[in-house]
Amino acid sequence: MKFIFLFCFLLLQAFIFNITQDPILEESIKRGSDIYSDFCVTCHLPNGEGVDGEYPPLAKSDFLMKNRVQSIMTIKYGAEGEIIVNGKTFNNTMAPLGLADDEIADVMNYITNSWGNENDKMITEEEVSKIKK
């Protein structure tokens, strides 16, 4: 009987945590959308598809979803050199955007939850602040 009670209690806690987490993530995604429109849309386009051979896609991006830390580092510090995204090679430069850690978290939450990407682990300002060059 105690086991069933404990199980139900833990299940309820997990449910409550997920409910309270969603509005926080939704607000982050909303802010990230605005940041994307200001800083990213020129190269990666409104639909996140990028420019073939020039700027990698963010839509349904295997690189973005499998390389969380490197993706954050790219936004935070910029990047140069070759990467492979969805089987295609891109070799270009991305300058650092000058965003604060909270803004990087927000734009990462937006792009990792848009255009066919699904991220079940929210990116936080604290996580971004711990990532060093």
pTM above 0.85, yes or no: no
Model confidence pLDDT, tens digit, residues 42-60: 999 999 999 999 999 999 9
22-130 domain in CATH 3.40.50.1950? Answer: no
Domain ranges of the chain: 22-130
Helix (H, G, I), strand (E, B) or coil at 94: strand
State mean pLDDT over 82-111.
97
CB atoms within 10 A of CB 52: 10
